[in-house]
Amino acid sequence: MPETKDLVILGSGPGGYVAAIKAGQLGLDVAVVERDPKFGGTCLHRGCIPTKALLHTAGLLDEIRHSKAFGVKVAGVELDLDKTRAYKKKVVDKNARGIEFLFKKNNVEGVHGTGRVASTGEVVVELADGGKRSILARNILIATGSVPREVSIAPTDGRRIVNSDHLLELPEMPEKMVVVGSGAVGSEFASIYRSFGSEVTLVEMLPRILPLEDEEISGELLKQFGKRGIECLTGTRLAGVDDSGDRLSVRLETAETEGAAPSEIAADMLLVAIGRAPVTGGLGLEALGVEMDRGYLKVDEWMRTSVENIYAIGDVVPTPWLAHVASAEGILAVEHMSGAAARPLDYDRVPSVTYCEPEVASVGLSEEQAKERGHEVAVGKFPFAASGKAAIEGKTAGFVKVVRETRYDELLGVHVIGPRATDLIAEACVALQLESTTEELFRTIHAHPTLSEALAEAAHAATGHAIHI
């Protein structure tokens, strides 16, 4: 006789495992089905955590190379790729064990296998050990995530034409790398491999790199990447790849050269980083009448699909491809299905973070978005070149930009490029969540000397009375 669970979750990434823990805390009997050998999903094993470990190594390399300026002499510095990979694996494994501990603590059952939704109330699992298990479920949560999107003219082979998954395990450093796509993944890997010593060209089809960020932020990153020796080709698309020789021949074209012979770049490796595709095929959802659009599951504000007791979160729904979004959606879905107090998410208040060098982070509306929505807009900027703490750390590139509306002084958005941007943005997230005014932000006393002072200074500037510039 099949057992019954209050909730069965397909996928144990940052959406699935967080939802499971919350469900356990709310007293639900929950099982998580994961097809990988370890829990944690793409974010832990092939995304957020391992890439940030590599970025930490890259940052240390850069810091040591410039340590003479701070009075620290180092005789030689080189990258040990084997130890770098071992360090990355150690971090990932520790976090995976942490998820297993949290499952036990919150009475969550982890099931290793591939799940399929057999009916609106049943999940069938092809177990990793070869068996089969049927679980009756009062609610089902789809959190199966995404995979790197492929491009037909440059299919990945895992050796010379790669995606982000492949790149985490490559045994050798490419002398010359071309990265196609300048979103967070492309920009981060371009930054990593430049610090590791590769020659890097970043190719973006749109007019600017990090195209989802504020236009001035994109412009500043373009300038700083240029100073680091990363060549950025915007308004340029991949036209094809010839992999028949010792090196790849990467063919590129622009709007001006379309129809002519593409330009060519010789490279040892091509990273395809053009986005991700949802993992929704083979789950049995179409047969149950779950509405989909281009592979994504349609959901309401409570993360319910068109089938009432089937919910979906994370990369399988058309919301930002961010781990913290998936986690927030998982908590929302579980609160709603359990009858607990729930509040729909405001996606305008989702922070975006990119861990390249310099770091980039933002929350709220960009200047362009604020104007498009009809706001009377004022902006203020404060450069890290005027920050005492940034000078101490030797990282003075970049700035903080505050976007406000002038009628009620509502804080609309904060955008940061520079040192510790991905941590500094947290203050702005709280400010937007509390519907802060810009004045409340700059009247909040910030400790000195800190990098966070730059947010208060930018808020001062947005109201027309900058202090330190």
Active site residues per annotation = 448
Q: How many CB atoms lie within 10 A of CB 269?
A: 24
Max Cα separation, the chain? 72
Cα–Cα distance, 427 to 438 (Å, whole number): 13
Cα–Cα distance, 23 to 7 (Å, whole number): 8
Token pair recorded at residue 185: 């993944």
Q: Which residues have a Cβ under 8 Å from the Cβ of 256 and sit 6 or more positions away? A: none
Cα–Cα distance, 270 to 160 (Å, whole number): 6
Q: Which residues have a Cβ under 8 Å from the Cβ of 340 and sit 6 or more positions away? A: 26, 334
Stated as kind and residue range, the H or E segment containing 277 is strand 276-278
DSSP tag of 437: B
Q: How many CB atoms lie within 10 A of CB 166?
A: 19
Residue that the structure tokens 């799940």 belong to: 115
Q: Which amino acid is at 329?
A: E
